């Protein structure tokens, strides 16, 4: 990834003939300087945090000590990033699945809504064709509004074509499944917090399992191991969804035919950091005791009781707050409107809320 980034940005040193060789030479020099910079920063950080002579001398052993120490630092940063992404992703998963699945049509007349949207689409097309080319700003606004109407019409037609099983069974089942998985994840973290307070062996550092195939790592046998696998995959998907839902990383979202190579490299680096920290987070939260063949138990910060306990507490609290905010946003908006506080802009409409849809009687309604 660093080679690809520096190769894209390189132009060749001054005085050399422009071409691939000059760009590769400049890229290699930049990589060497970057390696020296990281080596010095990690060495100085280790000297400041742990001034023991043995720990400082251990960094001279590049393969056995320095690289694992550097990977430990990267995983620590990834775990902190997962602490932000995963709770947000757990709450956003309900919205994402709601956009992918067909919702039940309760007290709705889809035929009348499609008819109204079709009339609105025809009216916008007539207005668009009647404007002169000199009014470019209005044309752009009308084209965007027409595109939104077409998108809404496509969604309504998809809901109309969906079968009764898909509308009335699949959507509620998926929502209940997501709620159960999220509740189990929070419950496991709460149990792990209690275990950390009463049992020192619950610490993730040094707790190595019996090995693959020797014995089950879960108390509940095959069922518990399968549940751990499902929860880890669920957390993985939720962390990716939460990563792209954060405002700071919102511009990283890839778009069709509109994604630069630098942004692609940034996405690859972000996914790699998150994936390298996922096993560490799973062990720290007590979701699994499996070492994932990466020898992650050697990380020194996993043996710090206060870091591990604080990580579990923050994860449980932030996840609970995100879920409460998710499921009470509609009620909160209605309370603000009833009290007249919506005029003060104290509450912003959530990005998860749906676009207002025309109801049967022609008025606009939104959940």
User: Does the reported pTM lie above 0.85?
Assistant: no
Q: How far apart are the first and last CA of the chain?
A: 44
Q: How many CB atoms lie within 10 A of CB 63?
A: 7
d(CA 31, CA 10): 12
Is a pLDDT exceeding 70 seen at residue 178?
Answer: yes
Which residue would you say has higher pLDDT here, 359 or 168?
168
Is a pLDDT exceeding 60 seen at residue 4?
Answer: yes
d(CA 286, CA 280): 10
Per the listing, tokens 């929070």 go with 186
- Range with the poorest average pLDDT among 3-7, 73-77, 198-202: 198-202
Is a pLDDT exceeding 70 seen at residue 298?
Answer: no
For residue range 31-43, what is the model confidence (pLDDT) as tens digits? 999 988 888 887 7
d(CA 151, CA 146): 9
Average pLDDT on 158-179 reads 76
Is a pLDDT exceeding 90 seen at residue 171?
Answer: no
d(CA 137, CA 308): 55
Confidence of residue 106 (pLDDT cuts 50, 70, 90): low
Is a pLDDT exceeding 60 seen at residue 135?
Answer: no
Q: Cα dist. 354→89, 251, 253, 271 in Å?
A: 18, 21, 20, 28
As given in the structure block, the two tokens for residue 333 are 């908006």
For residue 352, the model assigns a pLDDT of 43
d(CA 252, CA 275): 17
What SS3 state is found at 64? helix
Estimate the share of the chain in helix, then strand, then coil, as percent rounded to the nearest 5: 70, 0, 25
For residue range 244-265, what is the model confidence (pLDDT) as tens digits? 888 888 777 888 888 888 888 8
d(CA 253, CA 263): 8
Sequence-separated (6 or more) residues with CB below 8 Å from residue 239:
82, 85, 86, 89, 274, 278
Confidence of residue 28 (pLDDT cuts 50, 70, 90): very high
Confidence of residue 293 (pLDDT cuts 50, 70, 90): low
d(CA 289, CA 362): 57
For residue 359, the model assigns a pLDDT of 44
Q: Cα dist. 300→50, 68, 134, 204 in Å?
A: 11, 10, 67, 10
For residue 347, the model assigns a pLDDT of 45
- Range with the poorest average pLDDT among 57-71, 267-281, 302-316: 57-71
């Amino acid at each position: 990834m660093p080679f690809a980034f520096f190769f894209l940005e390189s132009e060749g040193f001054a005085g050399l003939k422009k071409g691939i060789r000059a760009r590769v030479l400049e890229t290699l020099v930049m990589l060497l300087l970057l390696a020296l910079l990281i080596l010095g920063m990690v060495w100085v950080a280790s000297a400041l945090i742990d001034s023991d002579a043995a720990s400082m001398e251990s960094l001279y052993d590049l393969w056995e000590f320095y690289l694992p120490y550097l990977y430990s630092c990267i995983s620590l940063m990834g775990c902190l990033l997962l602490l932000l992404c995963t709770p947000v992703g757990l709450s956003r998963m309900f919205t994402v699945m709601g956009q992918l699945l067909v919702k039940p049509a309760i007290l709705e007349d889809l035929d009348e809504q499609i008819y109204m949207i079709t009339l609105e689409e025809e009216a916008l097309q007539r207005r668009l064709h009647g404007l002169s080319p000199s009014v470019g700003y209005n044309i752009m606004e009308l084209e965007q509004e027409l595109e939104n109407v077409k998108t809404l019409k496509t969604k309504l037609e998809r809901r109309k074509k969906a079968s009764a099983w898909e509308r009335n069974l699949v959507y509620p089942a998926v929502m209940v499944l997501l709620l159960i998985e999220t509740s189990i994840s929070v419950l496991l973290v709460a149990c792990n917090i209690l275990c950390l307070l009463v049992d020192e062996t619950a610490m993730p550092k040094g707790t190595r399992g019996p090995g693959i195939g020797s014995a089950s790592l879960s108390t509940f046998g095959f069922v518990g191991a399968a549940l751990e696998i499902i929860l880890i995959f669920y957390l993985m998907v939720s962390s990716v969804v939460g990563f792209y839902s954060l405002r700071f990383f919102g511009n990283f979202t890839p778009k069709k035919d509109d994604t630069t190579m630098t942004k692609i490299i940034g996405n690859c680096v972000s996914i790699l950091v998150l994936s390298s920290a996922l096993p560490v987070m799973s062990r720290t939260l007590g979701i699994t005791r499996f070492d994932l063949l990466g020898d992650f138990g050697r990380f020194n910060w996993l043996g710090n009781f206060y870091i591990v306990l604080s990580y579990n507490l923050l994860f449980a609290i932030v996840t609970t707050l995100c879920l409460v905010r998710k499921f009470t946003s509609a009620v909160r908006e209605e309370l603000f409107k009833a009290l007249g506080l919506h005029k003060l802009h104290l509450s912003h409409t959530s990005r998860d809320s749906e676009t207002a849809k025309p109801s049967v009687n022609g008025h606009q309604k939104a959940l």
